[in-house]
Amino acid sequence: MPRIARTKSNTGIYHVVLRGINRQRIFEDDQDNQKYLATIKRYKKTSGYEVYAYCLMSNHIHLLMKEGIEDLGITFRRIGASYVYWYNWKYSRRGHLFQDRYKSEVVETDRYFMTVMRYIHQNPTKAGIVKEIQTYPWSSYKEYTKKAEVCDTGFALSLFSTNPKNALYLWEKFNRENNNDNCLEYDDRARLNDLEAAELIRDIAGVKSPGEIQNFEKYKRNNVIKKLKRKGLSIRQIERLTGVSFGVIRGI
């Protein structure tokens, strides 16, 4: 089956997720995390990309970044080859480490850029690994509050204020806010086909037709959509069956 071409971002900015093959761990200890970050930093000049946020989890990686002088596919093959060579040497293994194709979504508005950044930084808290995002050692949060090593922090901070101190205060406040952000993620749950999904929508919403949700009062509509997301329906599938716009569903 042919692969679907990736959607190109008008801004060149993407939210990227890479995962270990078969959900395998890709970071066993602190040295592994340090090595991957050093590899990202090393190839910034070669590939010309900018990194705005990252979070390294045990078996997957989130990145918010801007494509450079070469296609992201080439960039990740370059980074991956270097890290995997070192990883395989360290652990006396051979073969692939990452799932062969990264996942990505376009980031084309300032608001969604901020949402993705917060989503990335809150990944460890929502996974129950830490209670406070600033205590997780392998995200870019500390690069904004202490010292930037890998990240290009200026753009993100400029979205909050032109005053550096005020920008950092507002940035921290935003990143710590409670939310229902729902961004790109690897999802291994079995997807329902449209007939099954439509039946689920009718049951949850108490309607005869999924399209009736468009006429719900906003709070009721949003509550139904939250439940559908938790059941594993994709944003596109909910949009297709209910007629509620992609942007509205993504923001719920």
Task: Annotate 33-101 with DSSP letters as a single string.
Answer: HHHHHHHHHHTHHHH--EEEEEEE-SSEEEEEEE--SS-HHHHHHHHHHHHHHHHHHHTT--S--B-SS
Scanning the structure block, which residue is given the tokens 């009062």?
A: 217
Confidence of residue 5 (pLDDT cuts 50, 70, 90): low
DSSP state of 19: E
Joined tokens for residue 233: 């329906």
Confidence of residue 1 (pLDDT cuts 50, 70, 90): very low
What is residue 127's predicted lDDT score, i.e. its pLDDT? Answer: 84
Among 5-19, 49-63, 96-110, top mean pLDDT goes to 49-63
What is residue 81's predicted lDDT score, i.e. its pLDDT? Answer: 95
Topology (CATH level 3) of domain 13-176: Alpha-Beta Plaits (3.30.70)
Burial-class residue 53 by CB neighbours within 10 Å (0-12, 13-18, 19+).
Answer: buried
- Give mean pLDDT, residues 190-196: 74
Phi/psi for 198 (5° steps) reads -65, -40
What is residue 233's predicted lDDT score, i.e. its pLDDT? Answer: 83
Confidence of residue 123 (pLDDT cuts 50, 70, 90): very high
The neighbour count for residue 219, using CB atoms within 10 Å, is 8
**Amino acid sitting at position 157:** L
The neighbour count for residue 35, using CB atoms within 10 Å, is 17
Cα–Cα dist 235/242, whole Å = 11
pLDDT tens-place string over residues 59-104? 899 999 999 999 999 999 999 999 999 999 999 988 889 887 889 9
Q: Is the confidence at residue 228, as pLDDT, over 80?
A: yes
Q: Is the confidence at residue 187, as pLDDT, over 60?
A: no
Where in the sequence of the chain do the CATH 3.30.70.1290 domains occur? 13-176
Confidence of residue 229 (pLDDT cuts 50, 70, 90): confident
What is residue 100's predicted lDDT score, i.e. its pLDDT? Answer: 72
